[in-house]
Structure 1
C-alpha cells in the first residue's frame, strides 16, 4: 500500500472510532 492509502485508511478508522464513541459512550443529552 502507498502512504496515501495508509493515511486514508487511518482517517477512516479514526472517524469510525469517533462515531462509535459518540454513539455508545456519549450521554443522550450531549447534543
Structure 2
C-alpha cells in the first residue's frame, strides 16, 4: 500500500480530471 499511495499522491497534481479513474487501485499500474 505504501508504494501505491506514494505514487498516487505524486501523480495527483498533474493528472487530468478525466483520467483520475486510472489512479484507483483496480486500474493503477506502477511506472517502470
Q: TM-score range by the shorter chain?
A: 0.3 to 0.5
More relative contact order in 1 or in 2 (CA 8 Å, sep 6+)? 2
Larger radius of gyration: 1
Could you say which structure has the higher helix fraction? 1
Q: Please report the TM-score for the alignment, with normalisation by the length of structure 2.
A: 0.37
